[in-house]
């Protein structure tokens, strides 16, 4: 990174070391170049940055693309996983802010799958200078039903899900993957999602699931100042289709695009469609 004269050599060295630690901790990958705004891709629960490559590579010709793993996922530093830090989505928002700063980026386009949408929302509220645009794929501000709000899950549904992960993570992964991908014609995608779910560190899989499924960002939506686009699958059991309209009504500047696609993992099952819609949103 370029240092200014306001920093002493020792201070600059410390900043570089801190940034290097973040790049290593979150297994940051940077590809591409060009003059376009930097694009950062965030993965969802139980997966990692590799789920984005089929889409992200399409933007590397004219932009710098940043991929990373949240701590506890993929090739991140598992020893850095601290349940106190990651006991809410704010801890993951800290990760995202630190990754963007370590990549020496500003005004980024953050492309987020699933829970990363709300992680990006929280990060953008705290540091709007780091973001120029949010593009959320199948996001939800709350997964559990609450009065008139239908998130898609009863509290007992989530407790049963957590018990299933705790008791038999591989079996839980094998049963859930077909339901969330919803594409019998693409068994390779179902197998990939199953394997990612099954191989996430067990303690992380259970704790992160609790944090995700009991999170509630509804009261923060009006604070999002960054232009936002929501891409909503019409056949998603994790994030029901009406959630897209709910977000559009409550985020001050928000476009909603309904994707003619099934399942929660549309960036894997319909990467061409998702890439085209991201490019339109840009």
Calculate Rg over the CA atoms of the chain.
18
Per the CB < 8 A criterion, the answer to whether 96 and 73 are in contact is: no
Strand runs labelled E in the chain: 29-32, 36-42, 63-67, 108-113, 131-137, 228-235, 254-262
Q: Helix, strand or coil for residue 117?
A: helix
Which residues does the annotation mark as catalytic?
114, 236, 264
Backbone angles phi, psi at 256, to 5 degrees: -115, 130
Measure the CA–CA gap between 57 and 66, rounded to whole angstroms. 10
For residue 7 the two structure tokens come to 């920093």
Strand runs labelled E in 50-147: 63-67, 108-113, 131-137
Measure the CA–CA gap between 220 and 255, rounded to whole angstroms. 18
List, edge to edge, every strand of the sheet that includes 29-32.
Answer: 29-32, 63-67, 36-42, 108-113, 131-137, 228-235, 254-262
């Amino acid at each position: 990174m370029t240092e200014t004269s306001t920093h002493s050599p020792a201070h600059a060295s410390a900043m570089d070391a801190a940034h290097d630690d973040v790049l290593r901790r979150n297994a940051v990958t940077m590809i591409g170049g060009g003059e376009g705004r930097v694009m950062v891709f965030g993965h969802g629960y139980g997966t990692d940055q590799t789920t984005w490559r089929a889409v992200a590579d399409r933007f590397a010709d004219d932009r710098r693309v940043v991929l990373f793993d949240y701590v506890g996922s993929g090739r991140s530093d598992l020893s850095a996983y601290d349940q106190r830090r990651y006991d809410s989505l704010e801890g993951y928002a800290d990760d995202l802010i630190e990754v963007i700063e370590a990549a020496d980026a500003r005004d980024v386009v953050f492309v987020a799958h699933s829970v990363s949408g709300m992680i990006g929302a929280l990060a953008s509220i705290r540091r709007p200078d780091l973001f120029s645009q949010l593009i959320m794929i199948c996001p939800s501000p709350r997964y559990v039903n609450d009065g008139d709000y239908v998130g898609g899950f009863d509290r007992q549904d989530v407790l049963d899900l957590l018990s299933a992960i705790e008791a038999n993570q591989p079996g839980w992964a094998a049963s859930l993957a077909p339901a969330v991908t919803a594409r019998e014609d693409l068994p390779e995608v179902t197998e990939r999602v199953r394997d990612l779910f099954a191989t996430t560190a067990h303690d992380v899989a259970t704790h992160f699931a609790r944090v995700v499924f009991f999170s509630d960002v509804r009261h923060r939506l009006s604070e999002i100042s960054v232009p936002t686009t929501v891409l909503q699958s019409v056949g998603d059991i994790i994030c029901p289709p009406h959630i897209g309209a709910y977000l559009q009504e409550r985020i001050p500047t928000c476009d909603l695009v309904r994707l003619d696609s099934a399942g929660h993992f549309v960036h894997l099952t319909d990467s061409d469609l998702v890439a085209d819609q991201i490019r339109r949103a840009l």
